[in-house]
Structure 1
Amino acid sequence: MSKLSFLEKLLDDAEVEWKALGKVTLGTSNIKWREAVRVYRYIDLTSVSIETKKIIETSVVTPNSAPSRAQKLVEKDDVIFATTRPTQMRYCLIGEEYSGEVASTGYCVLRPKKDEVLPKWIFHWVSSADFKKYVEEYQSGSAYPAISDAKVKEFQIPIPCPENPKKSLEIQAEIVRILDTFTELTAELTAELTARQKQYTYYRDQLLSFEEEGTAKNTKDTKKVEWKTLGEVAEFRRGTAITQKQTTSGDIPVVANGPLPTYFHGEKNREGETIVIARSGAYAGYVSFWNQPIFLTDAFSVHPESTILIPKFIYHFLQNKQGHIHAMKKGAGVPHVRVREFESYNVPIPTLAEQARIVAILDKFDALTNSISEGLPREIALRQKQYEYYRDLLFGFPKPEVEA
């Protein structure tokens, strides 16, 4: 799609006027709680998904229970944009089901003048790279960044054919139609990913459900196997302290207390398949799996006896028990987990063949639902990039020259 040919064809030499959002939107009102006679659904800042740009959950509030920030009445086709931590780009279009409900004062409510702009025209412009750059420039506050409603409404968007509203809305509608095609595809893939994640969780629970010795479950969902403590069947190795001076450029990740490596080291002290458990900090107890050399610091690794356990099987089992593991954390200031609790942690010992079967199934689900190089996450990322490419292409309207 050629930007010039497509836009030139749509515009047909018509003018383009850039107007501030405040000039093409209507004023809104706040709720008068003293006069309210019904319950309302409250759209808080966390109610809108950053990923899907949709309302995912709301709470029910009454005049007596409503928080002080529950003030802004919203209507169908309003675009709401979170002005608190604005670079997170939390926004959505209000649908029929939330018309007449109340939103947080942390949102700027953009109510389009529908004889000038389409609601989706504003929605897609709020998603644009230009708008995000504008927000980054005009937000204030380092610890708790925010941007005012007034400043949001100063952002300018193009209005094609301002002297011919009918043609203007037709041009907007055609561009919106194209962009909606991409967003709808992304939404479908995201819904599919959510369904697959639920399916993955269900099958993981079933596959890793074993009957402990001495219990009387004997249900179809559990399998009777031998249980041992991790200390009986695995070796624990503690991380080695490392200073910045000791680091050198290299390709060996340093794994400490989080899901991602912090920096790189030129030497290695772990080889093969390694289960790593973060020892302290916000990610204390987080279980990760590495099939490459790593340098271990504020964490410890688990190395199962290879004659009876497949490392990836124990990884999946511990991952499925993350809730239990988080409950093992100690310390009020800096939370931490201790090796000795893990040494006494009971794990099932099915046959190696059964372990291999379970690992193969769960690895496939994991790749489908989590991998950024394959599966649905990769497809969603590609479709999002495609949307952004065509959005920026279709929004390439000529801008007025700025006087020096």
Structure 2
Amino acid sequence: MIEKWNYDKLGDVCDTSAGGTPLKSNKEYYEGGTVPWIRSGEVNNRNICESEIKITEAGLKNSSAKLFPPDTVVVAMYGATAGQVGILDIECATNQAVCGILPNEKFIPEFLYYFFLGFKEKLISQAVGNAQPNISQTKIRNIQIPIPPLEEQQQIVAILDDAFAAIEQAQANIEKNIDNAKELFQSKLNEIFSQTGEDWEEKVWDDVLEIRSGRNQKQVLNSEGKYPILGSAGKVMGYADDFICEEYTTIVGRKGTINNPMLIKEKFWNVDTAFGLHAKDGLNKLYLFYFCRSFDFEKMDRGSGRPSLVKSDLLKIKMPVPSLENQQKIIKQLETLHDEITSAQELYKKKLTNLEDLKQSLLEQAFAGKLTHKDMPA
């Protein structure tokens, strides 16, 4: 604790409250509503100025929901966004999974925002529940919080605002670089598979590959099985005693995820939402995979709701097929580029992690009383 700062339990220096949910079955509480009403999943921005759902005055009056004024600091208490914090820019109601810390003369809301941003991991560690963390309002009220003079709070907020803005711009630049790397590889794929050469021949899939439809896994399911059971997204759904597809088979989704082909390097059993593409003699398995990466399967979607592909349609796909020797040259070229891009992406991701660590470090310094303008990195 910082000797020059006073500390107290949050609940002793701030009024807090949770919201409520009007009865969902009563349309009178929702239809034509004008009162903004946020749920815990919407506490995902610093400044909250709108809600996905609006309730009516009747819904507000006949439930435990209540209006919080602007500058209320809200903390999500349940679910995937538990521990997230934001500041209301508008008068707004919330559900019971959001704790509102009402504005008062002791704190500026941005100071509380940054405090809870830095306290998030500790707060989540105190939550109950595994899959869906649940933070009680009591735990929030029992947090020991520093109470610096308002002038010092303003200085801390100004420093963190400047630092976070610079970090977030750097993160945006890095994420753009990652997207550019992906686009570069996709552009190269498109370029290769749109070209022709003397030994290139256009062939239909029915002539150069076999599509192995997936089957129900119940008959082969075994927790100690040797072969993974895979769906359209490549997720392991269990293990099997038998397999349908050999090593280096490309999976294309039949239902659901239809435009994300994956190369599976081991034998596997595919369920009925996934097709396994088995290359015949004369077609390199990796060449087939890279062609699939260049192909837009969404244009073959037959689903009315859920994306869906039809085997007979896929067998009519035309693809350029050069000699096996040239297929191998193309594969080598693409794998070299892929390795270079992957290395660059890993470096970018490491930089993103470092920037997130820097944010946390700055928050720790701020609430240890060590953050002043002279302490900021150039």
Note whether the superposition's TM-score is higher than 0.5: yes
Question: Is contact 2:43-2:74 (8 Å) kept?
Answer: no
User: Is the contact made by 2:164 and 2:359 (CA closer than 8 Å) also made in structure 1?
Assistant: yes
> Does residue 91 of the first structure (1) align with residue 78 of the second (2)?
no
- Correspondence for 1:78: 72
Q: What's the TM-score, normalizing by structure 2?
A: 0.60
User: In the alignment, what sits opposite 1:327?
Assistant: 303
Note if contact 1:80-1:108 (Cα within 8 Å) is conserved in structure 2. Answer: yes
Which of 286, 291, 311 aligns to 2:288? It is 311
* Contact 1:232/1:343, CA 8 A, preserved across alignment: no
Once the two structures are superposed, what CA deviation does each residue of 1:90-126 show, in whole Å capped at 9, x if it has no partner? 43233xxx4235544432222332x322322222232
Q: Does 1:107 align with 2:120?
A: no
For residues 145 and 67 of structure 2, what CA distance do their matches in structure 1 show?
Answer: 27
Select the residue among 94, 114, 117 that pairs with 1:124: 114
Question: Displacement of 1:276 after TM fit?
Answer: 2.4
Partner of 2:4: 14
- Kindly tell me the number of residue pairs found equivalent between the two proteins: 339
Distance 1:205 1:28 in 2: 48
CA distance in 2, matches of 1:104, 1:274: 48
Q: Are 2:74 and 2:99, in contact at CA under 8 Å, matched by a contact in 1?
A: yes
**1:237-280 residue CA offsets vs partner (Å, 9 max, x unmatched):** 57895733345xxxxx9462344557999xx9855x65224678
Gaps of 5+ in 1: 1-6, 211-221, 248-252, 398-404
- 2:223 corresponds, among 244, 255, 268, to 244
Change in Cα spacing, 1:385 to 1:80, as seen in structure 2 (3 Å) is: same
1:3 maps to: none
Cα deviation, residue 145, structure 1: 5.5
User: 1:80, CA displacement in angstroms?
Assistant: 1.9
Alpha-carbon spacing, 1:284–1:99, altered in 2? closer, same or farther (3 Å): closer
In structure 2, the partner of 1:137 is 126
Structure 1 residues 157 and 233: CA distance shift in structure 2, 3 A:
farther
User: C-alpha displacement at 1:88, in angstroms?
Assistant: 4.2
Tell me whether 1:297 sits opposite 2:269 in the alignment. yes
Pair 20,343 (structure 1): closer, same or farther in 2 beyond 3 Å: same
Quick one: which of 144, 164, 169 aligns to 1:157? 144
Quote the Cα distance in structure 2 between the aligned partners of 1:347 and 1:384. 46
What is aligned with 2:373?
Answer: none
- The AA in structure 1 aligned to 2:138 is K
Residue identity matched to 1:84: Y
Q: Give the drift of 1:327.
A: 3.0
Residue 18 of structure 1 aligns with an amino acid whose one-letter code is D
Listed one character per residue, the Cα deviations across residues 203-245 of structure 1 (whole Å, up to 9, x for unaligned) are 99999999xxxxxxxxxxx999998654333344578957333
Query: In 2 relative to 1, CA 347–209 (structure 1 residues): closer, same or farther, beyond 3 Å?
Result: farther
RMSD across aligned positions (CA): 5.8
Closer/same/farther in 2, CA of residues 287 and 198 from structure 1, 3 Å limit: closer
Residues 229 and 180 (structure 1), Cα distance of their counterparts in 2 relative to 1, 3 Å cut: farther
| Alignment check: 8 A CA contact 1:14 1:160 kept | no
| TM-score, length of structure 1 as denominator length | 0.57
C-alpha spacing 1:209/1:314, structure 2 compared with 1 (3 Å): closer
Taking a change above 3 Å as real, the CA distance of residues 391 and 263 of structure 1, as seen in their structure-2 partners, is farther
Q: Which among 348, 351, 370 is matched to residue 379 of structure 1?
A: 351
Aligned residue among 317, 332, 339 for 1:346: 317
For residues 368 and 156 of structure 1, the distance between their equivalents in structure 2, rounded to whole angstroms, comes to: 43
Q: 1:392 to 1:42 in 2, by over 3 A?
A: same
Q: 1:311 to 1:153 in 2, by over 3 A?
A: same
d(CA) in 2 for partners of 1:336, 1:38: 38
Return the alpha-carbon distance in structure 1 between the equivalents of residues 284 and 270 of structure 2. 29
Task: Describe how 1:204-283 pairs up with structure 2 within 5 A.
Answer: 229-236=204-211, 243-247=222-226, 254=228, 256-257=230-231, 258-260=233-235, 271=247, 274-277=249-252
Provide the rounded CA distance (Å) in 2 between the counterparts of 1:101 and 1:138.
26
Of residues 51, 59, 63, the one that matches 2:56 is 63
- Name the counterpart of 1:402: none
Q: Which stretches in structure 2 are left out of the alignment for 5+ residues?
A: 23-27, 370-378
Is the deviation greater in 378-387 or in 185-194?
185-194
In the alignment, the residues of structure 1 paired with residue 46 and residue 246 of structure 2 have an alpha-carbon distance, to the nearest angstrom, of 42
